[in-house]
Amino acid sequence: MQTERKDHCANDTRLSDPPCTLPGMDIERTHRHPYDHIDPDFRDGVQDAVDAVRIRYEHGWQPMDVVHTTPKITGTDDIRAVARLVLFEATTSGAADRAPDEWVSQLRSIEDRYGPARRPVAADVHPLRVHSATWRFGPMWGPIGPLPSEWPTVRAVGRPERGVDDKMLARIRGLLAKAESTEFEEEAAVFTEKAQELMSRYSLSETLIREPDSSETWIRGRRFHIDNPYVAEKSSLLFTIAEANACRSVIFTNRSIVEAHGSANDLEQLDMLFTSLLVQATRAMAGARASASGSSTTSFRKGFLTGFAIRIGERLRSAGSRATEQVAAERSVPVSDLLPALAARKDELDAEITRRYPRLGTTRRRAFDAAGYHSGRVAADHASLGVQQRVTRGA
């Protein structure tokens, strides 16, 4: 699997404040400037922190990157102060009305996880000063969407920005809801395998109808922020699911982040499937017993997640192969006729990853506990290949 070897730094300059447009978040609406609500004793420190965050945004970071990565870089445990600052910055930039959908979705997730949007408080001042240096001169990301300086004054209404087929996703969710509601494992397996095959079939059909000479790229990016414990094993699971679902991904070990690239639909499906399978793996792992093998709990669970990921990858690839055969049969052509389009798609994705990260290295799979590994494979055979609702990844 691929990992980015080195972070890059840049000399940054202070960004000017954008016009103030209050978004539709849970913060009091007023005609006053948001900074007027900040205590004058630490207003300058807050404004400095906001400016520093905007520098990171202009160098590829997004809201969840700031909240997830900052405590890891600084070695501090004041994530709520960071979350408050990120949400406050959004009120001063009008993000809810101007930013891309994915950006707004991240702000909502931060709000849901760390509380409604609030102003920074006095206790935040010292940690924000520490973080400001990190945000001004920290590592860069390659942009995976429009930068804030490129946002429109008001986001276009009704614009199909994300390129996601909601009707197709609804069909998949319907199949998965049936799978999760039945008491019979065999019936659930039928529904979930059909859901995965539908994902693969749609992805293939999307590839076949794409204009080969289109000047507009179809490749999108998304970052997944992996929480402790067992970050390496969870990242490996995501990497495996991405590879089996026509996406490419890079693991940033030092930041506990996996960046995936693919079509908008493929990334949406990847997000749903990873979230579901991670929760299923965590539940199954909690019920598995390491004591019988004499393994420590930690080594057993790492082995469990490794076995789970490998077996899930096998199942997903099998479902993808069946989907390809079905599409070929429907078009009355041999499977070999579809391979050039699939190969071209893979080449485009590989080229994009190489362009973004030319210094990629590879990692070897670590040694794992045998009992945990085999227990994880068994759990993967019973796992549903989908989701009914979105849940957190930090389970």
> What percentage of the chain exceeds 90 in pLDDT?
37
Mean pLDDT of 331-353: 91
Q: Tell me, letter by letter, the H, E, C secondary structure of 250-304.
A: EEEHHHCEEEEEECHHHHHHHHHHHHHHHHHHHHHHHHCCCHHHCCCHHHHHHHH
Residue 232 DSSP label: H
Provide the token pair at 259.
């960046």
241, 277 in Cβ contact below 8 A? yes
Q: How confident is the model at residue 8 (pLDDT cuts 50, 70, 90)?
A: very low
Residue 377 DSSP label: H
Separation between Cα atoms, residue 112 and residue 45, nearest integer Å:
26
Provide the residue ranges of all domains of the chain, joining segments of one domain with +. 11-150, 166-381
- Count of positions (residues) in the chain: 395
Worst-scoring range by mean pLDDT, 239-243, 299-303, 338-342? Answer: 338-342
Helix (H, G, I), strand (E, B) or coil at 117: coil
Read off the pTM.
Answer: 0.79
Separation between Cα atoms, residue 174 and residue 191, nearest integer Å:
9
pLDDT value of residue 187: 66
pLDDT value of residue 214: 57
Mean pLDDT of the chain: 80
> What percentage of the chain exceeds 70 in pLDDT?
78
pLDDT value of residue 262: 95
pLDDT value of residue 254: 87
Separation between Cα atoms, residue 368 and residue 354, nearest integer Å:
30
Separation between Cα atoms, residue 288 and residue 332, nearest integer Å:
47
174 alpha-carbon distance from chain centroid:
23
Residues in Cβ contact with 134 at an 8 Å cutoff, skipping those fewer than 6 apart: 70, 73, 74
pLDDT value of residue 69: 92
Separation between Cα atoms, residue 324 and residue 332, nearest integer Å:
12
CA distances to 2, 192, 253, 301, 302 from 258, rounded to whole Å, are 10, 25, 8, 21, 18
pLDDT value of residue 151: 96
- Tens of pLDDT, residue by residue over 168-220, are 777 876 776 665 565 555 665 567 667 777 777 777 777 777 655 555 678 99
- Tens of pLDDT, residue by residue over 211-261, are 555 556 789 999 999 999 999 999 999 999 999 888 999 999 889 999 999
- Tens of pLDDT, residue by residue over 267-296, are 988 888 888 778 778 877 887 875 555 678
Helix (H, G, I), strand (E, B) or coil at 362: strand
Worst-scoring range by mean pLDDT, 30-34, 125-129, 168-172, 189-193? Answer: 30-34
pLDDT value of residue 354: 94
Q: Which residue has the higher pLDDT, 165 or 42?
A: 42
- Tens of pLDDT, residue by residue over 43-55, are 899 999 999 999 9
